[in-house]
Structure 1
Amino acid sequence: MIVTTPDGGRDGMSSITAVNGSPAEDASPSPTSPRIGRRRWLQILSTFIVFMNTWGFLLTSGAFQAHYELFLIRDQSSSNIAWISTTSAFLVFAVGIVTGPLYDRGFYKPLLVAGSLLQVFGFMMLSISTEYYQLFLSQAICIGIGSGIVFTPSVSAAAACLPNPATRAKAMGLMACGSCVGGIVFPTMFRALVPRVGFPWTVRSIGFLILALYLLSYLVLIDGRRKTSRAPVIRRFFDISAFTDLPFMLLSVASVFSATAFYIPLLYLPLFTKVRVPSISPDLTIDLLSILNGVSVIGRLVAGLAAAIFGPTETIAVSLVAGSVLLFCWIPVDTVAGTIVSIHTFILPVSDRDRLPDRYLLVPL
């Protein structure tokens, strides 16, 4: 988030406040110091967990999509079912329109608590859902809004405590790896538990794990909090002047189109593979999600380094061009080995698209 310093300039942790639980910096590093102190590492850990619980679960949507189509709501079309996960992903970002200004007013921890409780409530309701509208309300609305309430303030807090641009870019890549970890853990849990305990208890188990991780995230923030006498910088709740900022609008529109292209392969990966490779086992179709998210760890870390060296705009431009070319190369693939190779080649360049460069640009400390 943009914070105004006493001298009227724009800076980061040199003037960031810690009112009502908002993150604060260590006293020793200078505003542009690349060193990361203990409190900053705690904030990075907290945001890593938030990435795991929010986008890590959303990257499991392919497993839920396949289960809904094949077992739970077979009377619904594939496109209707896809509205569940896509609406949830939309709300993660859309809710930030409200939670961003609330974070500026010092409500970081209340937002974290409210969002995590709503998200876990959504999992409990999802576990007892059997109809399409019930699945939509619990997964798309409750889990989506809950994730959005937590996500934007957490990313803003992490960016605020890392004023050095190069350090911030690297840390963003590291924190984004939390979604990769979640994208490995949750599909693996889904594949292992559904045959043994059924869909309801599988969803409850995921919900309980996410609740435990949120408790750890909150305790970390309590340990890393630091009091300050500075007053919070209060800005307008809705700034219409943003629509007159041409670079900002171009970036926003481009992000919409690139996100649309990026999530289609992730959402339909298990079903697409089952159609193109009928002999593949159901377990392996779910494991493909874990493989994809595991490989993306490399892409996110490399993207953080590249953004620090070459700049976020250059990094995301190259990744989108490479990803587009590789996506077309995926079309003729009809073997298990070819699918795994395509996953590796596609996700490596585009794994930064959904987390790093545009987030790095939109939080200009």
Structure 2
Amino acid sequence: MTTEGTSTVDSSAEDPTRRVDIEKTTTATYFQEPPDGGFDAWVSVFGCFLVYFCTLGLINAFGEFNVFYTNDYLSNYPATLISMIGALQVFVLYLLGAWVGPLFDAFGPRYLIPLSGLVVVFALCMLSITQPHHIWQQYLAQAVLLNGAAAFSFYPSMAVIGHWFKRRAAYALGFVVAGSGVSGIVFPIMISKLLPKIGFAWTVRVCALIVLVCYIIATFTIKTYRPTKPLPDSVFKILDFSAFRDLRFTFFTVGAWLSMFSVFNPYFYIAEYSTAMQGPSGLSAYLLAIICAVSIFGRILPGLVADKWGRFNTIIVSTAASGILVLALWYTSASPANNVAFAVLYGFASGPIFTLMPGCVATISPIEKIGARIGILFAVLSTGALAGSPIGGIFVKSKDRESFDHLILYTGITALAGSFFFVLARLQCDKKLFAAV
């Protein structure tokens, strides 16, 4: 009896016909249409929202760290070198995208999310014990370790949306990316209030506690809808360089790369600009929070428009509007009222850039290559993010209006250049002017 049972199990396990059937079933499940909603889908959106709250949100809040570092903690270093911390954050986060995507496809979020969260919290704890006037410590803890770990939850949180949504993908991703806008309200205000009272070390530890709670919730709420896939057997299969043969993808990547040169500058410099123009005031601490607060709506509402009128059309309008606002408002006046008006309008106009880039790539890519192409897009964008803000910092040679005007001109012109290449990519998709692309 035992021998027969063993023989039956062995023969079925080795049956090539059965193995082929299993592979076909797995492939069919992977390519099946997402449900576009449901309890598990929206619970996963909430978990991904919390991950963005802790990852991209901390980057958006760097403006407040920048003010503290420049005026106190790292005051013996030039502004450009300090701003490089923020730029390196984005660079590390984006650069790892090309490799994290295949890991997510192979292992899912079950291991990546909690492990990423533990290392992010550890990095914040290490940041809390860094010493003043030793900038290499902030570089290692805040820029490299924190964001290197964050990448392993940032990209899975983006990819999970594609598992659950198709027609409403831009709308759902807008809620996820809004997490960074919410944390852009919470962290800058909290940091500015806590620093004078409890000091740098305990302020960062409070941030670490919030991040830990968010990651615990995200670990139990983020789920996948499609089965896992094996890891590619070659680095050339991970990095889909063949994507650049498609002019749509090439033009879009150039436009996104130029946008990276500009989009973070107001987030990183508006508080410092306000302080330089009006002196230290309560308004300076709130300008970054205002941008991030309004960007919540700028990341959710355009998703509804994009799903109906076209993702390319929406990102073109938003990027062009961002550049125009920089030149028409931020450049023309340094008054407090003007700064508030710019913060409100720019927060809304710049929001769709973060939300719609993955959706635009998905629109022009085969379903089996979406993850790889989004990964290589962000790997390319990492260089723009690394160079953009530090180049802007070079213009700020002194804390006067003329220096900041050079920064603002650079920001506005590169934003408009990015929108131009988005137009070229859109025309490669469909030359009809009013087509929903």
1:232 and 2:246 aligned: no
Residue 231 of structure 1 deviates from its aligned partner by: 6.2
> CA separation in 2, counterparts of 1:42 and 1:208?
22
Q: CA deviation at 1:119?
A: 1.3
Residue 157 of structure 1 is matched in structure 2 by 160
Q: Give the superposition deviation at 1:154.
A: 1.4
- Give 1:332's aligned residue: 332
Q: Single out whichever of 327-336 and 126-135 deviates more from structure 2.
A: 327-336
| Partner Cα distance (1:175, 1:154) in 2 | 8
1:67 and 1:323 map into 2 onto residues whose CA distance is 27
Indicate the residue corresponding to 2:216 in structure 1.
Answer: 215
| 2:349 counterpart residue number | 349
For 2:164, the aligned partner's letter is C
* CA shift for structure 1 position 349: 1.5
Structure 1 residues 160 and 205: CA distance shift in structure 2, 3 A:
same
* Shift in CA distance, 8/40, structure 1 to aligned 2, threshold 3 Å: closer
- Give the whole-Å Cα distance in 2 for the aligned partners of 1:333 and 1:323: 16
Q: Percent identity?
A: 26
Change in Cα spacing, 1:273 to 1:219, as seen in structure 2 (3 Å) is: same
5 Å matches for 1:113-128? 113-128=114-129
Query: Deviation at 1:348?
Result: 1.6
After TM superposition, give the deviation of residue 284 of structure 1 in Å: 2.5
**Residues 193 and 214 of structure 1, relative CA distance in 2, 3 Å threshold:** same
Larger radius of gyration: 2
Q: Aligned-pair distance for 1:240?
A: 3.0
**Distance in 1 separating the partners of 2:66 and 2:41:** 37
Q: Distance in 1 between matches of 2:356 and 2:283?
A: 32
Aligned partners of 2:117 and 2:150 also within 8 Å: yes
Where does 1:119-138 land on structure 2 (aligned, <5 Å)? 119-130=120-131, 131-138=134-141
Q: 2: CA distance between counterparts of 1:231 and 1:262?
A: 34
Aligned pairs (5 A) from 1:1-365: 15-16=29-30, 31=33, 34=36, 36-130=37-131, 131-162=134-165, 164-165=166-167, 167-221=168-222, 224=223, 232=229, 235=232, 236-278=237-279, 280-281=280-281, 283-329=282-328, 330-353=330-353, 355-364=354-363, 365=367
What is the TM-score when the length of structure 1 is the normalising length? 0.86
Q: How far apart in 1 are the matches of 2:269 and 2:122?
A: 26
What residue identity is the alignment partner of 1:336?
Answer: P
- Cα deviation, 1:267-286, whole Å, max 9, x if unaligned, reads 011111111223x51x3312
1:233 CA drift (Å): 5.7
Tell me the distance in 2 between the aligned counterparts of 1:233 and 1:124: 35
- Alignment partners' CA distance in 2, 1:115 and 1:361: 27
Question: Distance in 2 between the 1:8 and 1:231 partners?
Answer: 9
Q: Secondary structure at the match of 1:333?
A: coil
State the distance in 2 between where 1:33 and 1:75 align.
55
Q: Deviations over 1:286-321 (max 9, x none)?
A: 211111111112211221111111111000001111
Q: 2:33 is matched by which residue type in structure 1?
A: P
**Residue type of the alignment partner of 1:31:** E
Whole-Å separation in 2 of the counterparts to 1:244 and 1:118: 38
Q: Which residue of 2 aligns with 1:24?
A: none
Letter in structure 2 aligned against 1:343: A
Q: Which residue in the other structure is 1:20 paired with?
A: none
TM-score, structure 2 as length reference = 0.72
How far apart, CA to CA, are the structure 2 residues paired with 1:321 and 1:82?
Answer: 25
**Separation of aligned partners in 1, 2:89 and 2:78:** 18
SS of the residue aligned with 2:55? helix
Q: Work out the CA distance in 2 between the residues paired with 1:195 and 1:16.
A: 52
Number of equivalences: 335
How many angstroms apart in 1 are the aligned matches of 2:128 and 2:240?
A: 40
Cα distance in 2 for residues equivalent to 1:210 and 1:102: 23
Instruction: Tell me which moved more, 188-197 or 239-248.
Output: 239-248
Q: Distance in 1 between matches of 2:92 and 2:304?
A: 29
Change (3 A) 1:197 1:40: same
Contact 1:159 1:363 in 2 (8 A): no
Q: Is the 8 A contact 1:123 1:139 kept in 2?
A: yes
8 Å contact from structure 2 (residues 47, 219) kept in 1: yes
The one-letter amino acid paired with 1:291 is: I
Structure 1 residues 201-225: Cα deviation after superposition (integer angstroms, max 9, x where no partner): 000110111011000100223xx56
Distance 1:225 1:305, change over 3 A: closer
Amino acid at match of 1:146: A
- Which amino acid is 2:109 matched to? Y
Distance 2:228 2:200 in 1: 49
**Paired residue for 2:404?**
none
| Residues 87/231 of structure 1: CA separation in 2 closer, same or farther (3 Å cut) | closer
Please give the secondary structure, in 2, of the residue aligned with 1:74.
Answer: coil
Contact kept, 8 Å, 2:291 with 2:346, in 1: the verdict is no
Shift of 1:33: 5.0
Rate the CA distance shift 1:234–1:127 in 2: closer, same or farther, 3 A: closer
The structure-2 alpha-carbon separation of the partners of 1:297 and 1:212, relative to structure 1 and needing over 3 Å to count, comes to same
1:92–1:148 CA contact under 8 A, matched in 2:
yes
Query: What's the Cα RMSD here?
Result: 2.3
